[in-house]
Amino acid sequence: MAAAALQAEAGFTPLFSGKDLAGWVLMHGHGPGYVVRDSTIVCPADGGGNLFTEREYADFILRLEYRHWEGANNGVGIRAPLEGDAAYVGMEIQILDDEAAEYQRLPIRPQQYTGAVYDVFAPKRGYVKRNGLWNDYEIVAQGRRIKVTLNGVVINDVDLDDVKDSGLLKKHPGLARRSGHIGFLGHGTRVEFRNIRIKPL
């Protein structure tokens, strides 16, 4: 989808030109970090770190496409500060190759599956396209509500105020944040992103 077409999508603005990483900042990168190839943002297997928007966002609809391969692990950071572990000081909407053999040998918790508000809210499973197929991802953050749609199916729709456990709230101070940066949280596995656009609410 061309940038001009994304611009015309009912109030959405592209976050990625398809040409370079203008408007983004790399934090805690390793290896090559993130690179642009064929109009996609690529987190190479030997790269990663946190790639954040320079701007902060509060309430929004974020739409993008991503694809991954065996064993991939990444995530979309939202309402995050630039420093610290975004999954805790902000929030991470998980991207994981749930069905990979390594995660079957070491079973992970439901709050770690694709579409989870990482470590807090578990998603519905079974809607991820694997092995290099593109997935449509939509994240809506509106006040205390977070809704995640994967390939046209709502897999998480939660109220952050439903978290009452004091230990969990202490572990995840980011649940209280009202705004912050949007980012990709790479863990040294290949994941690609394209058609990234946002509509502030």
Alpha-carbon distance of 115 to 119, in angstroms, equals 11
- Given a cut of 70, is residue 166 above it in pLDDT? yes
pLDDT-derived band at 21 (thresholds 50, 70, 90) equals very high
pLDDT at position 5, please?
52
User: Given the structure tokens 């975004």, which residue do they identify?
Assistant: 86
As separate numbers, helices (DSSP H) first and strands (DSSP E) second, the chain gives: 4, 13
Residues sharing a CB contact under 8 Å with residue 13, sequence separation 6 or more, in sequence order: 6, 7, 197, 198, 199
How many domains is the chain partitioned into structurally? 1
Residue 188 sits in a domain of what CATH number?
2.60.120.560
pTM, two decimals, is 0.94
- Given a cut of 80, is residue 71 above it in pLDDT? yes
Domain of residue 137: give its range: 3-200
Look up residue 133 and give its amino acid.
L
Q: For residue range 78-110, what is the model confidence (pLDDT) as tens digits?
A: 999 999 999 999 999 999 998 888 887 766 889
